[in-house]
Amino acid sequence: MQSMVDSGFAGRIRGAATVQIVLIAAGAAIALAGAWFLVANLSGSEGGNAGRLARQSAALLSETVESIQADLKRPEVVEQARAVLDGETQALDAVRRLLRSGGISNILDVRVFPPGIEEIETGAYPEPDFGVLDMLMEARRQGAAQAEIHYPGTANENLAFAQSFGADDAEAVDGYLFLRVPVSVVTRRIEDPGADGWIVLLQGDAAISGRAPESERRGEGGRLAVAGSELAVLWGARASGPPLAMREAALLLLAGVLLAVVGWRGSGLLASLPALSRSRGPATDDAAAPDTMPKDETPAGRPASAQPETEVNRDHDRAGDLPEWLIDRNRAAAQPGESGGGPEAGTAGPDSDSGTGQPKRETVYMDVPDLDEILDRIDEESDGDAVDPPVVDDEPEVVEDLSDFEFSSDVDTSEDVDLGEDFDLDTELATEPEPEPEPEPEPEPEPEPEPEPEPEPEPEPEPEPEPEPEPEPEPEPEPEPEPEPEPEPEPEPEPEPEPEPEPEPELEPEPEPEPEPEPEPEPEPEPVAVTSIATDDDVRRLLEGSGGIFRPYDILGVVDEVLDTDISAAIGQAIGSIAVDRGLKRIAVARDGRFSGPVLLSALIRGLRSSGMDVIEIGAVPTPLLWFAANELAGGSGVMLTASHHPPQYNGYRIMLAGELLDVHGMAEIAARIRDRRYKDGDGSYDQQDIIERYAKRLIADIQLERPLKVVVDCGNGVAGAIVPKLFGAIGAELIPLYCDVDGSFPNHLPDPSSSDELEDLRLCIRNFQAELGIAFDGDGDRLVLVTRGGEVIWPDRLLMLLAGEILATRPGEAVVYDVRCSSHLRRFVEQANGRAIMAPSGQQAVARRLRRENAPLGGEMSGHLFVSDRWYPFDDAIYAAARLLEILAADTRPVEEIMAELPEFRSTPEIRVNVKRARALELIGRLRDEAEFGDALVTTIDGVRADWSDRWGLARIEAESGALILRFGADEATALGRVRSDFRDKLLALDPKLPLPY
């Protein structure tokens, strides 16, 4: 009987062994095939011969371009170029000879241009065209322009280079070298991959030489930039590589390995069968087998209750975390008796229970997944679907739903922002009186809103451990606002009942808006309470202590350095609290096109709502549209999130309440409320409104041009580009947009129309398109200047003359308000037009305030803010002002330049900055006013000291933001301008001989 059993088992073993051998062999063969395809793919991933030749070609082209650019910089070449500008007739030939001696054998054209690009005449080839001027402008900015191909595919095709030259120690440009060479200089260096693929020379997306066969686009390939140029090398390998792609080859390899593993694991079963037959004994037959099955009901990998826990058993427990098909192998590796050779009699084999030698039931019933299932899992994992756990976003700032937005209480603003001695933003932004410097606990863990224990905050806000138990509350709309409760980790279970207090965590410590509570001790020992803002010195001290964030008329700072979501929310709370105290209920908000705008605006809205204000969001629009929305929808109250013309990393806030822009005292009150944590508590509503169509309809109904004007509009990639082109087209202008795509990085130039340097592209575009004029806007669309076809900039004081002539013709005797920086000709022009000229201190707020007081139909100031309240609203709106200017010009059939020539012409200097401390500047201005003699000049002291003579004027004032001394002069002609500059210089040096005047 025993022999029959043994022979039966032997037969089974032989049959099973055959199957296992077949599986292992098949798996090995499949794995080898997959490996071969994988290696073939890897070896071809660099594109083979085509890829190598393409990289070699790109390197040769880069070397050629850089070599030519280096030749243009050679000192002897630059020296001869200067001689060309000095009028030496043979110098240009010398430049050509020097370039040829340097290796540039084939020169089509070489020229030397003067520094004034706007003076260069354009024409047909070979004369410079707009493309040449564009390269010269780039050379002025960068030193050298990117080489590019002009007139591709024509008889005039050439590769152009432009290089500026000037003194080594100066930024000024003395001139430009411009060189044209044949395109063959680069095309002949492109290798031909033959049957291995193709190589194409590109400029942008246009092919210069070669062509990519449409039928071969699926082959391996790439694009390689050519250094120093606009060129690129596009290449491709013939789509004749391995029949399987990289992914399929890898899957084939894995399938083979898995198949071999299945076969190998079966060999362990074979080895255990003899031991199994011996354990049955002579009396055991197949019928007894079922009786043995229930004996091991314990789940696989778990020790039986009578079994002592061993390291192996613990390993089996952990195996539950592994994929199903790895569990047995992992257990086998963990067991003893596996050190080589097959299991001996009486020795625990890899698949047997340690100490018993009995085979594991899971070994007999191997749970190997179906191969298709395995491949599906691999597919999922390779796509990243099965391996990446869901990411829980616990950063409140990113939440789109503004009602759920929470500003984090764990941001250590004390390190990020220096708000000066009077500020401890850490204490401002955490209602917890304890100024724990870094409340790093998660923003949401502090749901407990109003526990009085806050007065007794233990200095260890270590509730970090507790935060994790509460990830669920975070999703709730407003559990996180309460940063104070951190000290009490235990109460965290109860937070959910109080999700309403979402407003401000700070509100709990002082439900009453009194500034006296605990918060006062934590800030600086001598905080300036709101009630103490009585004198200019108090205001100045408060603002100067804010590290430059709070300025006299706005808030401005670098995002992530001095501005973040916590500060934005606190600013919203302070503004909302002031508005509530003034009896206001609604406020409109908007932002410009900066990348930081959405997150900061969400935090601002959060703060405003938590103070009880109903918020109407207008979205990303120019500032004039926000002021329009404020007047139409919110009783004249609005907050604009913008940094105007400042670099991309900045952002800021401009505030209007009940139609009045906040001035220096309003800014000081915001700063004081944040410092003292004196906020109102409420729960305002939130709404969104699209104001663009409403604004456009109102403006289009008011203005239609009598004839089309060809106008170039430069929005500098600011937010005005989203509305101005369509709007001006709708009123009848033939519009040419320049940089009207909204891009918060301002890739072309800063959107600052008050800077002549930022108007170069506009000048060139006007001339190239033969436009009648150009208009430049700033980053948020509330300032502008006009440029004529001849490139002359019409500054705001002359624009005011043009507007005043038209408005005063129908409204004689009305006032025109202008700031102290404008020309004296403006006053005379307004008076001659039967108007009243009223001078105001410099700046937008001062002009706006005086305009409202006088109920004037027109006002403006030299930085470009224009107020045209005639037929419109009494806020500065550069878009409407530009439309009115176009209306005036279109109503006159004469050329724009002829119309402008009728306005008084004069010379003026830009603002001259003298960098001294505010105290020193104040003393100088005071002494200049009291001690200096200005003869028969009309002296005005509303903002510094201004002296007006009949043919000239001069101004010395203090810049509100920096405290620096600012000088500006104007005159009818150059001699008088030099005279007034000298007069002021002599008087200032007489008062302070060490004054660092820059002229």
Provide the 10 A C-beta neighbour count for residue 812. Answer: 11
Cβ atoms of 233 and 200 closer than 8 Å: yes
Collect all residues with Cβ–Cβ distance below 8 Å to 944 and sequence separation of at least 6. Answer: 820, 925, 955, 956, 957, 958, 966
Closest by CA to 722, choosing from 844, 623, 587, 864, is 623
Using left for φ > 0, alpha for ψ between -120 and 50, and beta otherwise, residue 473 falls in alpha
Q: Is 382 a catalytic residue?
A: no
Looking at the DSSP bridge assignments, the partners of residue 203 are 206, 231
Strand partners, 655: 639
* Residue 483 Ramachandran class (φ > 0 left, ψ -120 to 50 alpha, else beta): alpha
DSSP string, 968-987: EEEESSHHHHHHHHHHHHHH
Strand partners for 967 = 912, 956
Return the SS3 of 243. coil
CA 143 and chain centroid, separation: 27
DSSP string across 110-159 = EEEE-S-GGGPPP-STTS--HHHHHHHHHHHHHSBPPBEEESTTSTT-EE
The residue from 644, 754, 824, 842 that is catalytic is 644
What contacts 50, CB < 8 A, 6 or more positions away? 193, 196, 197, 198, 199, 221, 235, 236, 237, 238
Token pair 């937010």 is at which residue?
719
CA angle 774, 780, 786 (to 5 degrees): 20
Amino acid identity at 408? S
Angle, CA of 865, 964 and 654, to the nearest 5°: 35
What is the pairing mode between strands 710-714 and 660-661? Answer: unpaired
For the chain, helix (H) and strand (E) counts, in that order, are 29, 30
The answer to whether the CB of 328 falls within 8 A of the CB of 359 is no
CB atoms within 10 A of CB 102: 16
Give the chain's length.
999
What is the distance between the alpha carbons of residues 593 and 744, in angstroms, rounded to a whole number?
Answer: 5
Q: Supply 549's token pair.
A: 């964030």
Q: Smallest Cα–Cα separation from 748: which of 734, 764, 733, 735?
A: 764
Closest to 186 (Cα-Cα) out of 272, 57, 94: 57
Beta strand 710-714 pairing with 773-777: parallel
> How many Å apart are CA 332 and CA 339, to the nearest integer?
11
**Is-contact 690 753, C-beta < 8 A?**
no
Q: Hey, which residues are catalytic here?
A: 644
